[in-house]
Chain A
Amino acid sequence: MEETNKQVPVTVLTGFLGAGKTTLLNRILTEQHGKKYAVIVNEFGEQGIDNDLVVDADEEVFEMNNGCICCTVRGDLIRILSGLMKRADKLDAIIVETTGLADPAPVAQTFFVDQDVADRTKLDAIVTVADAVHLSSQLTDHHEAEEQIAFADVVLLNKIDLVDESGLEAVKERIRKINPFAKIINTTKCGVSLNEILNLDAFSLKRVLDVEPDFLTSDHDHEHDDDVTSLSFVSDTPLDMEKFQDWFSKLLQTKGQDILRTKGILDFTGESDRYVFQGVHMLMDASPMGKWPEGKERSSRLVFIGRNLESMNLKEGFENCKSA
């Protein structure tokens, strides 16, 4: 707990150009009086940012030589976050604004891979600002738009005054299909209460326990193979730990590039604790998280977000992990 307090929270703002990221950023900076923020920007000059601690950076994606084939990190973030931690005054939070075409995976992976960054800061949440008018076409045309929705903890669906009700429902349905555990907030001009986007601790294992994804029952027949979709599984039969670990580690090793995010709460035979994990591509954070609540049914829940999920025999693999 004490360790958590020492870590400065980092909020990542993603979204396509023109969606309203800078509007949101300036709202955070002007409304949170008396708080010290550092802002790391990558599209400098488009619109002024009202803060005295703005760091200009280039998005630099570095491959790691750690044997993890899809492991990339953001070199600029490692450099700047490590530098900011040498400041005499403590920052309340750090906000990273990414370019419209940025892939959020290397940003998230940086917090798993770099020990200095992980010791001193923590990824608080990925907030994606989406333009309600243009999101559908952006999702069709750009992989990056899908990834930004897939990685989001919060999707700020902006400019809803410019679409009709059925248009709004359609775009929300599209978001939910990609990412059932992102919280969707409707706004015009990014008018959102800031406690809905800051200090969410969305990457902590504790928060995985709160996740109640919209389990989709719809089939995925209409998707293209490379569309990002999600699949969820529930089992009331306890799982065999060895079988699960065997299946899951092989799955991530071979399909980690296509699996963008995973989250799960697992009930293992013979274990009194709940096992919780969350992952980004091949990187995983997992831990027992205390006893199952008394009087409540124990069950395992598993959510995948990724591409080509239908080809991975996930249902069969998961079923095979059930204790005989």
Chain B
Amino acid sequence: MKADTNQFPELDKTKFEQRGTEFKLGIPVTNAVTLGNSIAVGFGDGTVRIFTSGESSEPIKAHKGIVLCMSKDGDNILTGGDDGRFLNISLDGKINEIGNFGTRWVDHVTANNGSLVCSSGNIVYLWSPNHKEPKLFEHNSTIGGIAFDAKGRRLAVSRYGGVTLWKKDYSNKWNSSELNWKGSHNKVIFSPDGKYLVTSMQENQLHFWRLKDKIDSAMSGYGAKIKSFAFVDDSKYLATSGAKEAVCWPFDGDGPVGREPICLPYVGNKLVTFVEPFPNENAILTGLSDGSVFLSEIEKASNTIIIRSFTEFEVSAIAVTKDCSHLLIGDMGGNILWTSIWDEEKK
């Protein structure tokens, strides 16, 4: 840098920002979901927008206040909102109300093979295909998270004091068993291979159960609540937010007990707020509290590249298109970056 340059030079844009499209919408991004080569984004004003090939659809007015949660059902989007509605939205913006719980929020939504599931308060509601009335699964506290396993035969429901595991037998009857651990459990996920169940807790830690023998353990040492975590490269690593590094726990072999996680550091020393596995690779996209986003190979941290420079707003969503050609980044300041991942000539 020369001595006579501007005291506050414009920061260089990354090559991804240069070739991508930026949207400054000013509305907090709450969720993003991949639908083929489109990405649906939920916002803090209750709208949903579909991004395709660097273009945004008109905002779809889905909820009154906030799109609290999002998932997908085939080619459609599922949303839950602070207006108590559970919606199914098609890519062309047609809204179908599945459930309405009034002043009770719809906190979590998911789907598997046409079965649509949401939670509101302490009840999970499951609509089987072609059923008008939902089946109710009641729990002892407000539900922190819900997740199907890959086959859709097990539904994990996290709550205060642990996880309730609902299993469908071959006569399609659901039976529950309890996995208990003191404290309040939030988000829950299965490992893609179905061997593990992981929750994040109100305390700054995660908890996991190995399902075959119910062995469980805490993963702790975080400086903040873990809002985002995901399995990478099938089930080899669990990548987690909540620290100033992306903390990746090994889940291959006998799992993480007694083993050290790989910690991926980033310039700026900011809190990791979002992690998204890069499909089919042993790599993650990491979003930080200052808006910057990096792509890292877990076992080769030196191969980290910067995707987006800082925006000052915490990264709240990252999604990659199904063909792995493009990605979308959203933050709490309502900034969105849509960019191609590969250089044109490498395509």
Contact = CB atoms under 8 A, between A and B. Distances in A.
25 contacts: A53-B65, A55-B105, A58-B121, A58-B122, A62-B160, A62-B183, A62-B184, A64-B183, A65-B183, A65-B203, A75-B184, A76-B142, A79-B142, A83-B105, A86-B44, A87-B28, A87-B44, A87-B65, A88-B26, A88-B44, A88-B334, A89-B45, A114-B202, A115-B224, A116-B225
A65 B45 contact: no
A63 interface: yes
A75 B103 contact: no
Contacts of A60: 141-142, 160
Interface in A93-149: 114-116
Given A62-B184, A86-B44, A88-B43, A56 B202 contact: no
A87 B66 contact: yes
B204 to A, nearest CB: 9
Given A41-B103, A83-B68, A86-B66, 12 more contacts: A44-B103, A53-B65, A55-B105, A58-B122, A60-B160, A63-B182, A65-B183, A87-B28, A87-B65, A88-B26, A89-B45, A114-B202
A200 interface: no
Q: Does more than half of chain B's interface fall in helix, strand or loop, or is it mixed? A: loop
A66 B183 CA distance: 10
A76 B28 CA distance: 22
B86 to A, nearest CB: 16
B82 A65 contact: no
Per DSSP, are chain A's interface residues mostly helix, strand or loop, or mixed? mixed
Interface residues of A, number: 28
B82 A55 contact: yes
B203 A75 contact: no
B290 interface: no
Contacts of A86: 28, 30, 44, 66, 68, 332
A234 interface: no
A163 interface: no
A194 interface: no
Interface in B89-134: 102-105, 107, 121-122
Contact of A64 (B43, B122, B203): B203
Interface of A: 41, 44, 53-56, 58, 60, 62-66, 73, 75-76, 78-80, 83-84, 86-89, 114-116
A177 B206 CA distance: 45
Nearest to B220: A65
B225 A115 contact: yes
Nearest to B203: A65
Nearest to B160: A62
A194 to B, nearest CB: 24
Nearest to A80: B105
Nearest to B107: A79
B27 interface: yes
Interface in B313-341: 332, 334
A75 B141 contact: yes
A88 B25 CA distance: 10
A75 B104 contact: no
